[in-house]
Each structure stands twice: as structure tokens, then as C-alpha cells.
Amino acid sequence: MEAIFRHGLFNASSLNISIRPISLSVALLVVCNIAECNQRSGVKSGTANTVTKTEDDSPVIVGSQKAPQDVLPESMLKSRTIGMNIFGNALFENRNGKFQDISDKTGTETFWPWGHSVADLNADGFQDIFVTASMNYPFRYHHNSLLLNDRGERFQASEFTLGVEPRRDLRTATPWFNLDCAKADSSHKLCEGCSGPVTVWAALGTRSVAIFDLDGDGDLDIVSNDFNSLPMVLVSDLSTKNGNLNYLKLRLEGTRSNRDGLGARVQLFAGGQTFTQVQDGQSGYLSQSSLPLYFGLGETKVVDRIEIDWPGGLVQIVRGPLDTNRELAVVEQESSP
């Protein structure tokens, strides 16, 4: 694999971000738990107007004097109850109404997660998972995770391979707040050993991402929602690097059902394979992607037919052959043919 994502510059006026629900094509439940750091801060001394580094990316300080070794109490960085720290997320498979944890088996355990968004980021026909991470102040930085679906067998951590990490200019921290250690904030615990103005830095952290074709070139891009910081714009170059990119965008328009066809189950038949998605109106934590369902088709260039089970009970069939690499709009029929 090679990098397909590049970090674009965020320009709010140039982004036209719409809403798209997307879901897993199999019955899976992903649970993400906020993590707590259980490592004690290791803040090292720093000279005037320089950023003091930490061994575990805990908050750093810019100040007028040297910072003490341990400016953060241990209680801020670990659970008060031994053994109660919660680190990772879990993936549960629905087996006839009973859920089984398959996180280790499928390689989906990640740490410090906030939420997940699902999409076919390499257009091979299998849904991939983007897991946002990191807790900001007063915790260390943790990278986001991009888990590529290895043909339904397991997921491969690919965030560094595909260019999602590291961040632009290798940034992992940002200024968080200022203290006046000479006057108003002199009693603050972070002012111990310091005087004058102090800037406290904290780790960057992503809360959620929206996944959609931002530049209209046929592959899926990623825009993040970072806490107390500018979004990241991850522009995919898959369409230029893969001369055999095949996909179909499907936009549903309900008539008897709701306008956007939320709740519709879509099966796309192509090349002897069945691709299934649900227009379920959800994505990652505090985020929503654009409306057309995106079907990556791998090597397949023609769609044989599409079956749509609308939430109102109507089953509609769109017969092929249907050309790919375009957006297809389907309006719900008034009645079955």
C-alpha cells in the first residue's frame, strides 16, 4: 500500500459539506469508550519562551522560567480506582440476535477512541473504519486510526501507511490557555516554579470525521472535527493513483417513504458479488457525511441490478446493465410493478 491521503489546507469558504449517512454492510456493533491515561506526567525543564516537552505528550508549558519536573498531579492522569481504566473500543458481531466480541480476531481494538465512521476508502468493495482519538488537555496525544478492511477477514491499521498520520508539520499539540503566574493565577498548580505569563499547551485531538467526495473526483475524502483546533482536510488521491477505480454513488429520493429514504436497505449486484448498505442516517460522533451511498466496486465496471427495500415496505428493482463511475438518482416508485 502507498499513501493516498494528503493534508489539505482548511478553507471554510471553499468547502461545501453536505450530509451523507453510511453504515456497515454487515450486522456489527462498534462501541467506543473514552480512555484515561494511566501514565504520570514527565514534564521536563524548559527555558524561557520555549515549549517544554513531555515523555508522554502530556501538557507542555511556554513560560518565562524553568518549569518544574512534575507540574501535574498523578490524579489528573490516571483513574482513582486501580484496574478501572478504560482504554479501547470493541467490535461486536450480531450472531442471530446474540453479540460476540470479535475485536481481537478482527484487529479493531484501538485506543483513546471517540467514535467511528465507516466508508469504502480504497473502493475495493469492503467497508473500512476511521476511528477518531485523543483526549486533549491534560492527556497525551494519540493518533487517529484508519482500519482497512482486508476482504472481510480482518482490519489492518493503515493510518501511517496511507498518509492520515502524522499530521501536517508533525503537529501533536496546540496552545490551550494562558496563565498570569505573577498576579491573578499565581496560586494555580501549573504556576509552581514559574513567574510572569505562561502558556499551557495540550495534545491535539479529533472528535469526529465526515467522509465524502469533497473534490468530486470519485474517491472519498475526510474532513475532521478537532476539539479547540482547526479541522483537518484529508484529500484522497486514489483516483489519480488507481487507473482502474470503479464506484457508483446512489442517491435515494423517497415518495411514499421519507424524502431521503432513511431506513432503506440497498443491495447492488455486480460481477457475481452482492454489495449491501443501509441508508441509516448515521455516521460518526457529532458528524454526518453526504447523502449518496458510495459503493466501491473493486475491479467491477458494470452493475447488473440494484434492489432497494424502502422503509415503507416497497421493494424496487433497478435493472442493468448500469454504467459505473457516476451518481445515480433513484426515485421511490408509487407501487410495485
Q: Binning pLDDT at 50, 70 and 90, where does residue 50 land?
A: very low
The residue among 142 and 57 whose pLDDT is bigger is: 142
Average pLDDT, the chain: 78
Query: What pLDDT does 26 receive?
Result: 31
- Residue whose grid cell is 432497494: 308
166 prior amide bond cis, ω within 30: yes
Q: Is residue 23 scored above 80 in pLDDT?
A: no
Least confident of 57-61, 228-232, 277-281, 333-337: 57-61
| Phi, psi dihedrals of residue 8, rounded to the nearest 5° | -85, 165
pLDDT tens sequence across 130-155? 999 888 888 889 999 999 999 989 99
Q: For residue 64, what pLDDT band results from cuts at 50, 70 and 90? A: very low
Grid cell 519562551 in the structure block, residue: 49
Residue bearing the bigger pLDDT, 309 or 86: 309
Sign of CA dihedral 149, 150, 153, 156: negative
For the chain, percent of residues with pLDDT exceeding 90: 56
Adjacent-strand bridge partners of 236: 5
**HSE value, Cβ hemisphere, 13 Å, CA-based, for 178:** 6
- Lookup result for grid cell 454487515: 26
| Predicted pLDDT at 337 | 64
* Residue of 99, 77, 103 whose CA lies nearest to 89: 103
Please check the confidence at residue 251 and state whether its pLDDT lies above 90.
Answer: yes
Report percent pLDDT > 70 for the chain: 75
Each residue's pLDDT tens digit, 161-215? 999 999 999 999 999 999 999 999 999 999 998 889 999 999 999 998 989 999 9
Q: 262-291 burial, b for 16+ CB within 10 Å, e for fewer?
A: bbbbbebebbeeebebbbebebbbebbbbb
- First CA to last CA across the chain, in angstroms? 46
Check pLDDT > 90 for residue 284: no
In whole angstroms, what is the distance from residue 325 CA to residue 307 CA? 19
- Chain centroid, CA 238 distance in Å: 18
Q: Helix, strand or coil for residue 101?
A: strand
- CA–CA gap between residue 180 and residue 99 (Å, rounded): 53
Three-class SS of residue 169?
helix
Measure the CA–CA gap between 176 and 199, rounded to whole angstroms: 7
Contact indicator for 223, 231 with CB cutoff of 8 Å: yes
Is 144 within 8 Å of 133 (Cβ atoms)? yes
Backbone angles phi, psi at 132, to 5 degrees: -80, 155
Rg of the chain (C-alpha set):
23
Q: For residues 209, 211, 212 and 218, what is the CA-based torsion angle, rounded to 10 degrees?
A: 140
Return the residue matching grid coordinates 449517512.
21
Q: How many CB atoms lie within 10 A of CB 78?
A: 16
Q: Specify the pLDDT at position 174.
A: 92
Residue 157 · residue 327 · CB < 8 Å: no
Q: With cut-offs at 50, 70 and 90, classify the pLDDT of residue 287.
A: confident
Q: What is the pTM of this model?
A: 0.77
pLDDT of amino acid 46: 27
Smallest Cα–Cα separation from 211: which of 198, 221, 202?
Answer: 221
Average pLDDT over residues 320-332: 96
- 284 phi-psi bin (left φ>0, alpha ψ -120 to 50, beta other): beta
Give dist(CA 59, CA 43) in Å, integer. Answer: 8
Residue pLDDT, tens place only, 73-85? 344 344 444 444 4
SS3 content of the chain, % helix, strand, coil (to 5): 5, 35, 55
Question: What cell does 143 get?
Answer: 493518533
